[in-house]
Chain A
Amino acid sequence: MNLFKSGMLMALGVTTAMAWQVSAQAQSVEEFYKGHTITMIVSAPAGTLSDFLARQFADFYSQNIPGHPAIVVMNVAGAGGMVAAAQLQFNQPNDGTVIGFLQRNNLYLPLVEANHDRFDPRELDWIGSLDQVRYTIAATAASPVQTAEEMFTTPMIIGATGFANENRTLAAMMNDYLGTKFEIVHGYTGREEVYLAMERGEADGWLPTIDGLVSGEPAQLIASGELKVLMQLDWDNHPAFPDVPNFSDYVTDPKAKALINFFILPFQAGRPLAVPAGVPEDRLAALRSAFETTVHDPAFIAHLESLDSAVDPVTGADIERVIETLYATPEDVLESARKFLLPQS
């Protein structure tokens, strides 16, 4: 083989390689997703409400991503969603083929717990959240407390689930910082058990979310007067309960205000979606815009409504702002928060 020929061949080879590389770089988002499947990691077990919502969302979402990639749902449960979150940060490819359907506690627990497997929500890129969470306090008709005012004078038994669950920590914080007289009995395994305890007189009330009050049996209980919302745990009211008092009616102490903000801010990102850091800009932008299109798609909204669920979307940029604010929380506020979230000896 003479020198000229091999030189030509080499040049040809180099050009081909370069051309191939250029085409890879120029591969549009649509071309990329045409050839790939997206894995959606859901941080809750199969059959749960989160899993159900994720699967409903996935069907519509895939239609709005350029190239319409199939989305496969994979359940990675464990440690309150932290297993999935940590996996997304450390072990998953960042080419845009893996999306995490995470939980809001992933946003703030790493701040208060030392032992969180090094997960850091700032290391992910956030796509958006399907809904926002708003807590209330509700009492049964048999409860000794029937108005928000009475919460400060008369004891009532509040049923709650786990120790670190918001439906216990918020009540405990109110006792300490607002002077309510709740006797908290926690340890019930789920909201159904709490309702059962209320019905048999073991508890006088609990802290339900507005989501959980506007449909299903609780909605009927409210309509019939067997359940009464005493207060909304937010700075302003959700349209479903416009007339009940909220935090702005009772909280003046700036310390209490700061702590409350730390607790309720993550609620804005009820069910957040994220991708690992480093996903190419154009794909991330496409995933975010597909999210926006999906959550405002009337067909998706109607579909969820037919299943008694609602969309209350938040953008990825908003979630990143929430995380930024959370991570700017002063140490003394974090220290006060730890008292409610971490075991006390």
Chain B
Amino acid sequence: MDFFTDFSAFDAAGQALITLLQPERILFLWLGVLIGLAIGLLPGIGGLTGFAVLVPFTYTMDPFAAIAMLLGMAAVTSTSDTITAVLFGVPGEASAQASVLDGHAMAKKGEAGRALSAAYFASLAGGLFGALVLAISIPFIRPLVLAVGTPELLVMTVFGIAMVSSLSGSAPLRGIVAACFGILVGMIGTDTMTGQQRWTGGQLYLWDGVPTLPILLGIFALPELCEMAIQRNSETPTGKYTAKHGMLQGFKDCVQNWFLILRCSSLGALLGAIPGIAGSVTNWVAYGHAIQTEKDARKTFGKGDVRGLIAPEAATNAQDGGSLLPTIAFGVPGGAAQAILLGALLVHGFIPGPDMLTKNLNVTYAMVWSVALANIFGAGICILLSSQLAKIASLRYTLILPVIMAIVYVGAFQGSQSWGDLFILLFFGLLGFTMKLLRWPRAPLILGLVLGVLMERYMAISIMRYGADWLLRPGVIVLLAFSALVLLRPLFSEIRHGGVKALIPRGMPTFKPQDLAYLFFIGIAVYMLIEAQRWGFSARIGPTVVATALIAAGSVSLLFLVYSRGRAEDTSHRGIHMDSPNDWGVPNSVVVRRALIFTGWVLGFLVSMALIGLIPTVPLFIIAYMRIEGREPWRLCLINAGIATALVYGIFDQIVRVPWPSTLVGTLIPALGAIVPSM
């Protein structure tokens, strides 16, 4: 290996470190890290917004300082996004969805400090591993990436989808229904392959597809907020551990599970290198992997098992390093965020490609160091603060809920900056809450949403280019076999447990109101299936297959359910339900009343936004909620509302320059609209 005998690479690495360690560059790295941590904390506002905010400032900066700041920011958002996930069950970013399940369950058991500490150490290890993978693969990047053709990318997405079966826990068929539903939603919009507008109903808003952000927030954040409003406390019992003890225990957990961290970090780095696969999927794949491979995971995951938190945390931080591989070596952005980073690099005259591995090797290493140092700084800050942060969980819900909700709205609005985003947020919020209530797995929906369209596109390219020959490529065969094993495991275990007989329904059917959920999914699939038949073959084949699969899986699952009711069955072999349990400790009538009140607040926010605009709504909403729900003192209300409003105004009105939709008051009284931001 020339690389290891050739000291120029080590020289470049050393030089890059020295270049980066200049005080003002380190300062910008710190600045990036602080911004990244703050962004990770805010639900819905992720690295993409961060890049969009920061990149225009970097056009005139010293290139190394610019790289340090941008990568510093990007590398740590997936460290701090765990905080809200663990404490409130609301993921700070898409990459922290899986951390909610076990992390939040731990917090409910009074182990918030331990959970946060374990998550940070896992993030740190993952982040450093990702940087290391990036550093040592520099000499092989190009041959490595070149060896992977579109068919291989296709089967990697298939492998990701196959994880649905382990993420569906005790309800594999429901998981398939949810995944297919996610794929169908992902297919809405203009099809890149045929130009066909699929299910857009002539709405310009839907041309580019349904934005992912409001869906993620709807499915995962709103239901948790609703639960918080139902339970009326932040439900964290006083800590089981002292601050120091919790921190130490989290560290020990990571050391004990070093091999899991290693595996998940590798998985994260690998998935990161595939363009289009984002953190929103990686964390679930890692979680699914942990369920499959860890001892007794099927019994304890979802109930506050620290391994269920460590696995996704390590993977998402490792992903940042991995996602830089194709960006640096070929200029192929791993996602929308990397695309912006790429633009910033080009502005500074660094052209991705062979040059980055020879002439500009020091720049490449500066990127590696930036990622590594940012992970150390970011995790360091978080670890130092973790005992303090854990205390936030004990705050009253009336202080936390309105602020998070306002931020969720603003975050969802970043999807495509139009009203449609908020309707999507509400629709999927309702769906997410119903799914959680009726024990439908939610993760498969997200996997389908992100991976479905990628799969369809890669499949089309593979067939156009190779015909059926793509199936004969060795990498394809191996990965397809793996995927089949993962996917069919629940079926095998069912047959092993009860023989083929177990698959045949008998007895009398019993229906219950919650079976309507099946009708909802099947009904939508039937409608979409019928609509699709009007399109050309290439545009309808994907939707037809997926919708048919949904209808089939949904019908079989429903059939099983209605026939097996009333029969006591041993279902322990199926594992547990992969979601946090619904145990609210209040009578059902109270649950319904509080859920309705919460819905009223949710809708009230929208009405107010239509009347006076988003920014004036934020303080109004926070104050109203705190006064009416909690009778909080005015002073506290004003401070809370003031901080949140200043934040939203500063970032979104002044820096991002969000084009706010027109409002009723602003239209009626233009003079007022001219003064008040977003009115």
Contacts and interface: CB of A to CB of B under 8 A. Distances in A.
Contacts of A41: 659
A189 B204 contact: no
Given A72-B657, A82-B207, A189-B276, A200 B344 contact: no
A197 B150 contact: yes
Interface stretch (A139-147, A180-188, A282-290): A180-188
Interface string A61-87: 000000000001111111110110011
Given A52-B347, A217-B331, A187 B204 contact: no
B399 to A, nearest CB: 33
A54 to B, nearest CB: 10
Interface stretch (A255-263, A324-332, A336-344): A336-344
B461 A188 contact: yes
B55 A187 contact: no
Contact of B659 (A76, A115, A342): A76
A152 interface: no
A49 B343 contact: yes
Interface stretch (A11-19, A26-34, A156-164, A236-244): A156-164
A76 B417 contact: yes
B146 to A, nearest CB: 5
A161 B332 CA distance: 13
B52 interface: yes
A196 interface: yes
A216 interface: yes
A100 B319 CA distance: 37
A273 B539 CA distance: 35
Interface string B295-333: 000000000000000000000000000000010001111
B340 A187 contact: no
A55 B354 CA distance: 29
A343 B191 CA distance: 9
B196 interface: yes
A343 B539 contact: yes
Interface in B330-361: 330-333, 336, 339-344, 346-347, 349, 351-355
Interface in A282-322: 307-308
A74 B52 CA distance: 11
Contacts of B204: 78-79, 82-83, 86, 117
B149 A202 contact: yes
Given A187-B457, A192-B332, A163 B195 contact: yes
Interface residues of B, number: 63
A91 B662 contact: yes
B196 A343 contact: yes
Contact of B340 (A47, A56, A91, A202): A47
Given A78-B416, A163-B194, A189 B275 contact: yes
Given A115-B197, A187-B457, A196-B330, A345 B536 contact: yes
B333 A185 contact: no
A218 to B, nearest CB: 10
B464 interface: yes
B330 A187 contact: no
Interface string A84-123: 0011000100000000000000000000000101000000
Contacts of B147: 200
B498 interface: no
B191 A47 contact: no
A187 B347 contact: no
B146 A199 contact: yes
Nearest to A344: B536
A195 B330 contact: yes
A343 B276 contact: no
Given A52-B59, A74-B659, A157-B465, A187 B192 contact: yes
A55 B59 contact: yes
Contacts of B202: 115
A216 B332 contact: no
Contacts of B536: 343-345
A143 B208 CA distance: 34
B368 to A, nearest CB: 21
B503 interface: no
Contacts of B343: 47-49, 51-52
B541 interface: no
A51, A55, A75, A196 — most chain B CB neighbours (10 Å): A196
B191 A163 contact: yes
Contacts of B191: 163, 343
Given A115-B202, A192-B330, A343-B196, A185 B55 contact: no
B535 A185 contact: no
A73 B535 contact: no
A102 to B, nearest CB: 15
Interface in A163-190: 163-164, 185-190
Nearest to A162: B192
Given A74-B659, A115-B202, A308-B349, A193 B149 contact: no
Contacts of A45: 52, 336, 340
B205 to A, nearest CB: 8
Interface string B122-150: 00000000000000000000000111011
A46 B659 contact: no
Contacts of B52: 45-47, 75
Interface in B453-470: 457-458, 460-461, 464-465
B56 interface: yes
B590 interface: no
Contacts of B458: 187
Nearest to B654: A72
B331 A192 contact: yes
Interface string B193-233: 11111000010110110000000000000000000000000
Contact of B56 (A55, A91, A193, A308): A55
B657 to A, nearest CB: 5
Contacts of B196: 343
B28 interface: no
A343 B193 CA distance: 9
B357 to A, nearest CB: 12
Given A86-B204, A185-B465, 8 more contacts: A45-B52, A47-B55, A49-B343, A186-B192, A192-B330, A199-B146, A343-B191, A344-B536
12 contacts: A47-B343, A47-B344, A48-B343, A73-B657, A75-B657, A78-B207, A157-B465, A162-B192, A185-B461, A185-B464, A190-B332, A344-B536
Interface of A: 41, 45-49, 51-52, 55-56, 72-80, 82-83, 86-87, 91, 115, 117, 157, 161-164, 185-190, 192-193, 195-197, 199-200, 202-203, 216-217, 307-308, 341-345
Interface of B: 51-52, 55-56, 59, 145-147, 149-150, 190-197, 202, 204-205, 207-208, 275-276, 326, 330-333, 336, 339-344, 346-347, 349, 351-355, 416-418, 457-458, 460-461, 464-465, 534-537, 539, 656-657, 659, 662
